[in-house]
Amino acid sequence: MVIPIRYHVRNVTVRWRSTLATLMGIALVVAVFVLLRALAAGIEKSSAQTGDPRNVLVVRKGSQAESSSLVTREQLQALQYLDGIARNSDGQPLISADVITLLLAPRASGDGEANLLLRGVTPRGRELRPQVHLTNGRWLEPGKREVVVSENLARRFKGLEIGGTLKAGIGRLLVVGTFSAGGSAYDSEVWMDADEARLLFEREMYSSLILRPVDEVAYRSLTNSIESDKRFALRAEREVEYYAKQTLTAVPIKILASLLGSAMSVGAVFAAMNTMYAAIGSRTREIGTLRVLGFSRLSILLGFLLEGGLLAFLGGLMGTSVSYGLYQYVILRGITFGTMNFQSFSETTFQFAMPPILLLVGLLFSILVGVIGSILPAWRASRIPVISALKSL
């Protein structure tokens, strides 16, 4: 015979003081767990949203990132005449060479300085990245040491507002506009003319190439030609696939989420255990009465596990509600976060990303904490002798 669920629901609400303390502890654990996971998901989303599935990115074989790649001007000249590359309305091949380097800039908060990723692009490079659009000011003019910066960086660093200047070696770069890249990795970059950047930073080579095949057949032919030609020693892959792999920055945050979640869950387990022991201690006679009425030890064990799980579920519901409310606040206010990109060693900006599955994981995590914390108290309740239980005060 199974104990009615309403019996355990009633006991959760009757002992509201101890229940509330446990709920708050579990809610805190779940909120921290979900928010840290949301930070890691935000970094991964930024990389996943970068690039165009029609584009192909070309880097030197053996390099793990654009910043460590080298592509010669001779290779650019040879590749732009390959068959299968799409052309724009002016008949020009849609291929561009980029230059990647780092700049040091002071934070707007005054907390020191950080490296910024500067990308030298050509007019074709802007054409191949339609998600990047100007929001204020104007686009840069080659030869004038002008740059455009992402809105995220303009808010986080000094001198990146329109009209500001950015130190580059012995010279200065003038900020003439800001852009938005739809939450992609480009929202963490400063752009200037590619050839001007190469000359300014004394680079003989480019860092990478980006091109657009006319169709899927041309994609396979181009990538095969590029990678099989021993003269080039280059690697080609879809732009979106390249950036999907650039998620190493999210790994430390995921590890931190797991460590903090594990440490705090131990405390939450003991909180749930303490609450359930207190509940059982005050309901010993009730447990004896249930046994006399015919309820088995197994039904009592399962009943108290259910009660602990219900208690933790309510705490998890509170925690996920708090984390989701904070997520909505951050999104509506346009607040961004920054961390070190371990591929380029530059500042990466991102926002929270909280898919529904993450909230579900938070709830399941809370239930697991509650059930684990209830195992020993429930086992004790099921093993109390009937006579001793009925004699208790």
Domain ranges within the chain, ordered by starting residue = 5-48+248-391, 62-232
The residue type found at 118 is L
Average pLDDT, stretch 3-25?
Answer: 70
pLDDT-based confidence at 120, cuts 50/70/90?
Answer: very high
pLDDT-based confidence at 321, cuts 50/70/90?
Answer: very high
Q: What are phi and psi of 23, to 5 degrees?
A: -60, -45
pLDDT tops 60 at residue 320 = yes
220-233: pLDDT as tens digits: 998 988 888 888 88
pLDDT at 257: 63
Average pLDDT, stretch 48-76?
Answer: 85
pLDDT at 171: 78
Quote the DSSP letter at residue 68: G
Distance in angstroms (rounded) separating the CA atoms of residues 27 and 320:
7
pLDDT at 317: 92
The residue type found at 336 is T
Give the end-to-end CA distance of the chain in Å, rounded to a whole number. Answer: 26
pLDDT tops 80 at residue 138 = yes
Which of 209-213, 300-304, 336-340, 367-371 is the least confident region?
A: 336-340
Average pLDDT, stretch 275-302?
Answer: 74
pLDDT tops 60 at residue 313 = yes
- 3-state class (DSSP) for residue 51: coil
Distance in angstroms (rounded) separating the CA atoms of residues 153 and 108:
10
pLDDT tops 60 at residue 303 = yes
pLDDT at 325: 92
Q: Where are the alpha helices (DSSP H) in the chain?
A: 5-14, 16-48, 73-79, 123-127, 151-156, 194-200, 216-228, 239-245, 250-282, 284-292, 297-333, 356-383, 386-391
147-178: pLDDT as tens digits: 999 998 988 898 899 999 888 877 789 999 99
DSSP secondary structure string for all residues of 201-232: TT-SSBSEEEE-BSSHHHHHHHHHHHHH-TTT
**b/e sequence 147-183, b meaning 16+ C-beta within 10 Å:** bbbbbbbbebbebbeeebebebeeeebebbbbbbbeb
Q: What are phi and psi of 161, to 5 degrees?
A: -75, 160
Tell me if 308 sits within 8 A of 276, measured CB to CB.
yes
pLDDT at 346: 63
pLDDT at 254: 64
pLDDT at 63: 82
pLDDT at 392: 61
pTM for this predicted structure: 0.72
Distance in angstroms (rounded) separating the CA atoms of residues 51 and 198:
23
pLDDT at 187: 87
Give the torsion through C-alpha atoms of 370, 374, 375, 381, to 10 deg: -160
pLDDT at 206: 92
CA 328 to chain centre: 16
Distance in angstroms (rounded) separating the CA atoms of residues 375 and 259:
23
Query: Is the Cα dihedral 245, 246, 251, 253 positive or negative?
Result: negative
pLDDT at 244: 75
pLDDT tops 70 at residue 4 = no
Average pLDDT, stretch 367-372?
Answer: 84
122-131: pLDDT as tens digits: 888 889 998 8
pLDDT at 338: 65
Could you tell me what percent of the chain has a pLDDT over 90?
20
Please name the residue that has the structure tokens 């650039």. 246
Distance in angstroms (rounded) separating the CA atoms of residues 114 and 209:
26
Encoding tokens for residue 86? 């799409």
pLDDT at 365: 86
pLDDT tops 60 at residue 32 = yes
